[in-house]
Structure formats: structure tokens, C-alpha cells
Amino acid sequence: MKPLLQVLAGHALPRPPVWLMRQAGRYLPEYRELRAKAPNFIEFCLNPEAAAEVTLQPVRRFGMDGAILFADILLIPHALGQPVAFEAGEGPRLEPIRDAAGVAKLSDARAAETLAPVMETVKRVRAGLPAETTLIGFAGAPWTVATYMIEGRGKTDYENCRRMMWSEPKLFAALIDKLVDATAAYLIAQADAGAEALKIFDSWAGAVPATLFDMAVTEPTARIVRAVRARHPSIPIIGLPRGAGSHVAHYAAETGVNAVAIDHMTDIAAVPLPKGVAAQGNLDPMLLMTGGAAMDEEARRIIAAMAGRPFIFNLGHGVLQHTPVEHVGRLIDVVKGRA
Ligand code: CP3
């Protein structure tokens, strides 16, 4: 079995497998070159030839154990009919959904057709990957995707989301229900196409009021996990409840994920995960940017702290845009015991 899949099955390996969130992206010159030729980011994600190539770029250069499908969590709102644009340097922009009419307009009638190119990307990547490398498909968790749909952008204080959750819980639930169904169908299609593991990114889980955490984070994710398992009983699923702090163990137990990605704010060795659930993480992406002896030491400290447990080395969040390429190579060498 491939090393990453062994760990996701609950086994501890002498050397942890490694991949990095956002390992494909703007820090790589070969990514920037291809990206510059695309009319816009959504079309780039929906171009199987380009998306398969940028998925493979970091694996070719550095030999990670996992390849993360090149796509974006905001393909789901796009596929449900909500206009999504990426403005250079500003991040995503969506026409915000704030009322019942906005939620009612979302339709999954054409979602499978819109997202079909992603499945073609999955097939191409599987055909081009080294035998030991695992292809990880993914989607955003309903809460994190909803934050963009409701606010219309990233980097907010989630004021409109929190207002809707507290004052219009039925409207919020209706939006989450649509996202659960669309996301489960999307992940099942990725698994049908050949994704070997799946990841559910709840990047903004840390913004949910504690009382609402289960309603917004745990339960929607658990529903997606159940729906995927009904079709693909043994596909491993990684959850990322980023910023969830004291909720992480509860999230792991209640969602039924096989692994939990731990952010860099959390002491990864101290998280009380259920038996057999793997941990993934959690080097600070800033340390990958700054590099040097401090990076090597911290990587080795994390590996030593997780020895004997099912563990996948990764960052606590995504590779930052201005990260020097050499630092990424060095980190992979350190984790693989080549340096
Ligand atoms: O290696 C990989 O991880 C590639 C695939 C991937 C992308 N986005 C490509 C991307 C994945 C797994 C994502 C997930 C994603 N997208 C998340 C969850 C993970 C996380 O980082 O927390 C989120 C919150 C998004 C939403 C998103 N997409 C934002 C906020 C932005 C703009 C911010 C930015 O970095 O510019 C994107 C755009 C995006 N998605 C880029 C890439 C490579 C950069 C856009 C470009 O190349 O023009």
C-alpha cells in the first residue's frame, strides 16, 4: 500500500509521508508560467490539461508522497450558479447571498456538468503519478464555503455569517443543506474518477461561535463523510477544522474522518485523537518561508513528537506565495531523511 494510505489506515510508519497544503501554486515559477496563459482562475481550474500539469509540478520537483488535486473550494458556488471572480491581488469576489431569494437561486441542476472537467483532471493525474504517490481530492467544508458565499469575499470578520446563523438559523441551515448535498456529490465523483483519498477543508472553522460549532462544522462534515462512505466505504477522508482548538477531538470523533489536519496554533502531539485516527501537520508556513536551521529543527521536533503514531507531515496551513522554492526542497529532504 502507498505510504500515505498506510497512515490513513491507522498505521505508524518509521518515516512520516509528507505533502504540503498549497504545494501547487504561485511560489513555483512553472506554475506562474502556465497560470499567466489562462484567462481567469476558474477557467484555469476547469482546464484538465493545465490543472493536471500543475498538480504534478510539485511532485515532480520535490517527490512528495501526496498530490493534491489542483482545483478550488469556490468551484462549488460557481457550479451552483453564484458568480465567482478572482481579482489579481485581492482574492475571491462573489455576489453575496444574504436572503432566502439568494439561497433559492442556487441550483445543482448543472453542477455535475460544470464540474466534469475536474474529474478529467483526476483521471489524468492518476495516469501521470509515480506509483508510490497518493492522489488527494478535496472540497471545502460547507461552513468555509458559506463564509465566501455570504460575505462575498475572504478576509472578513464573518459578521454577515454570524448574523445569519443567530438570527435566521433556518435560512443558514438551508444554505448548508445545499452545500452538503453538492459537496458530497462532488467528492463522490472525484472518488469515482480515481481520487484515492479526500480532504475536507474547513479553513475558517475557528470563526464559529462555540455553541454553533456542531451545527455549522461537525454535523455538515459528518453528513458528507456518511454520504461518501455509502458509495466508497473505504476511501480515507482527512478533515481540516482549522482554528477549532478545543473542539478538535470532538470533531474527529463525531465526523468519522480518518485523519485530522492540525493547524500550527495547536500542539499536535497533545491533541487527544480517537484511536486509529491519524494526525497531519503542522509546521508554521512562515517557517517554511524563513527557512534555515530553525525550520530544520522544528520539522525534526514535530517528527520526533509524533513518532510511533499514525502521522503525515504537512504545514499548519498553505504554502505562502513568496516562499523560496529551495526551502520547500530542503523541508522535503529533512522529512525524508535525506538531509
Ligand atoms: O496545492 C494546492 O493546494 C492546490 C489546490 C488548491 C487551491 N486552493 C488552489 C488555489 C486548494 C486545495 C485550494 C483550497 C482553498 N481555496 C482553500 C482551503 C485551503 C486553505 O488555504 O485554507 C480556500 C480557503 C480557498 C479559497 C481561495 N482560493 C482563496 C481565499 C484564494 C485567494 C487567496 C490567494 O491565495 O490568492 C484562492 C485562489 C487560489 N486557489 C490560488 C491557488 C493556487 C491562487 C490564485 C492564482 O493562482 O491566481
**Best residue for ligand 1 mutational test, from 72, 122, 319 (most atoms within 8 Å of Cβ):** 72
Specify whether the CB–CB gap between 245 and 266 falls below 8 A. yes
User: Please, what is the average pLDDT of the chain?
Assistant: 97
Q: pLDDT value at position 90?
A: 86
Q: pLDDT value at position 88?
A: 81
Instruction: Tell me what the mean pLDDT of segment 106-119 comes to.
Output: 98
Please state, in angstroms and rounded to a whole number, the distance separating the CA atoms of residues 158 and 161: 5
Question: How many A from CA of 74 to the centre of ligand 1?
Answer: 9
Residue 143 clears pLDDT 90, i.e. is over it:
yes
**Closest approach atom of ligand 1 to CA 140:** 18
**Closest approach atom of ligand 1 to CA 45:** 9
Question: How many A from CA of 307 to the centre of ligand 1?
Answer: 31
Peptide bond into 282 cis (omega under 30): yes
What is the SS3 assignment for 274? coil
Please state, in angstroms and rounded to a whole number, the distance separating the CA atoms of residues 186 and 112: 7
Strands 237-241 and 197-202: parallel
Please state, in angstroms and rounded to a whole number, the distance separating the CA atoms of residues 65 and 17: 6
Q: What is the pLDDT of residues 252-309, one digit of tens each?
A: 999 999 999 999 999 999 999 999 999 999 999 999 999 999 999 999 999 999 999 9
Protein residue with its CA nearest to atom 28 in ligand 1: 72
Question: How many A from CA of 153 to the centre of ligand 1?
Answer: 13
Question: How many A from CA of 41 to the centre of ligand 1?
Answer: 10
Q: pLDDT value at position 293?
A: 98
Question: How many A from CA of 72 to the centre of ligand 1?
Answer: 6
The three grid cell numbers given for residue 320, joined into one nine-digit string: 505562502
The three grid cell numbers given for residue 124, joined into one nine-digit string: 489524468
CATH number for the domain that contains residue 155: 3.20.20.210
The three grid cell numbers given for residue 17, joined into one nine-digit string: 509521508
What is the SS3 assignment for 44? helix
**Closest approach atom of ligand 1 to CA 203:** 22
Q: What is the pLDDT of residues 173-192, one digit of tens each?
A: 999 999 999 999 999 999 99
Burial of 239 (0-12, 13-18, 19+ CB in 10 A): buried
Please state, in angstroms and rounded to a whole number, the distance separating the CA atoms of residues 149 and 66: 29
Protein residue with its CA nearest to atom 17 in ligand 1: 73
**Best residue for ligand 1 mutational test, from 86, 288, 323 (most atoms within 8 Å of Cβ):** 86
Specify whether the CB–CB gap between 316 and 263 falls below 8 A. yes
Q: What is the pTM of this model?
A: 0.97
> Total domain count for the chain?
1
Q: pLDDT value at position 89?
A: 80
Please state, in angstroms and rounded to a whole number, the distance separating the CA atoms of residues 225 and 235: 10
CA 83 to chain centre: 22
DSSP-assigned letter for residue 245: G
Please state, in angstroms and rounded to a whole number, the distance separating the CA atoms of residues 282 and 265: 8
The three grid cell numbers given for residue 112, joined into one nine-digit string: 455535475
Please state, in angstroms and rounded to a whole number, the distance separating the CA atoms of residues 237 and 69: 14
Question: How many A from CA of 275 to the centre of ligand 1?
Answer: 31
Spatial CA neighbour of 220 closest among 258, 173, 262, 260: 173
**Best residue for ligand 1 mutational test, from 18, 20, 21, 22 (most atoms within 8 Å of Cβ):** 22
Specify whether the CB–CB gap between 82 and 149 falls below 8 A. yes
Share above pLDDT 90 across residues of the chain, in percent, rounded to a whole number:
99
Instruction: Tell me what the mean pLDDT of segment 104-129 comes to.
Output: 98
- The residues assigned a catalytic role are 22, 26, 35, 72, 148
Round to the nearest angstrom and report the end-to-end CA distance of the chain.
25
Residue 330 clears pLDDT 90, i.e. is over it:
yes
Q: pLDDT value at position 64?
A: 98
- What range does the domain containing 310 cover? 3-335
Any residues with Cβ below 6 Å from ligand 1, and which? 21-26, 35, 41, 68, 70-74, 86, 91-92, 138, 154, 201, 203, 317-318
Query: Concatenated DSSP letters for 157-210?
Result: --HHHHHHHHH-HHHHHHHHHHHHHHHHHHHHHHHHHT-SEEEEEETTGGGS-G
**Closest approach atom of ligand 1 to CA 24:** 1
Q: What is the pLDDT of residues 33-90, one digit of tens each?
A: 999 999 999 999 999 999 999 999 999 999 999 999 999 999 999 999 999 999 888 8
